[in-house]
């Protein structure tokens, strides 16, 4: 288990280096959050590589639908709780749809709302007082945020993230997080 933890930690540290060296990645996001459930003390940190779609659909004035691909690496830490497990690692991949304000003629903050969901893997099926039952999960989020800076190269966002196995196996306690995100686009 320790080998997996070190692999995920080193992989997470290598993500920014890979993003710079990989032309298909055009953004890196760093996230931190806490479990939504009051009786759980799980905290999560996550690093994600993003690839913008560079397409805009359904234009309505300065608003349009766009999106990106996201590959995320996370580390969750909590109390031992009933399960005896204090931490786990996660990796997930999701397409994200974003309804975004865009005005190329001026550099003003661009607000957005987004939703994403996709497959996820966790290194353990129990943490704190939660039982996830399967290593295979679905990771989903809904978020609101703002792009700002020169050419909208920076983002700050809030995400409500949820991981669940969609009742593939019970118990399916799932885990939800309040998450703050900071991202930089290249």
Model pLDDT for residues 35-50, shown as the tens digit of each residue: 987 677 899 999 999 9
Would you identify the CATH topology of the domain 2-185?
Porin (2.40.160)
CB 93 within 8 A of CB 119: yes
Q: Could you give the residue ranges of the DSSP H alpha helices within the chain?
A: 2-21
Long-range contacts of 57-61 (CB under 8 A, 24+ apart): none
- Please give the share of the chain, as a percent, with pLDDT higher than 90: 65
* pLDDT tens sequence across 98-124: 999 987 666 788 999 999 999 999 999
């Amino acid at each position: 288990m320790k080998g997996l933890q070190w692999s995920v930690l080193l992989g997470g540290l290598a993500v920014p280096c890979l993003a710079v060296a990989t032309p298909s990645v055009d953004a890196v996001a760093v996230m931190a959050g806490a479990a939504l459930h009051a009786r759980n003390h799980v905290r999560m940190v996550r690093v994600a590589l993003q690839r913008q779609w560079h397409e805009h659909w359904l234009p309505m004035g300065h608003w349009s639908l766009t999106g990106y691909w996201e590959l995320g690496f996370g580390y969750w830490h909590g109390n031992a709780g009933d399960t005896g497990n204090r931490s786990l690692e996660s990796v997930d991949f999701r397409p994200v749809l974003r309804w975004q304000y865009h005005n190329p003629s001026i550099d003003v903050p661009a607000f957005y709302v987004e939703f994403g969901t996709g497959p996820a893997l966790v290194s353990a099926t129990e943490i704190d007082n939660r039982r996830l039952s399967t290593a295979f999960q679905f990771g989903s989020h809904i978020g609101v945020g703002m792009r700002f800076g020169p050419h909208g190269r920076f983002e700050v966002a809030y995400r409500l993230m949820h991981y669940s196995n969609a009742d593939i196996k019970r118990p399916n306690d799932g885990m939800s997080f309040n998450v703050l995100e900071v991202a930089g686009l290249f």
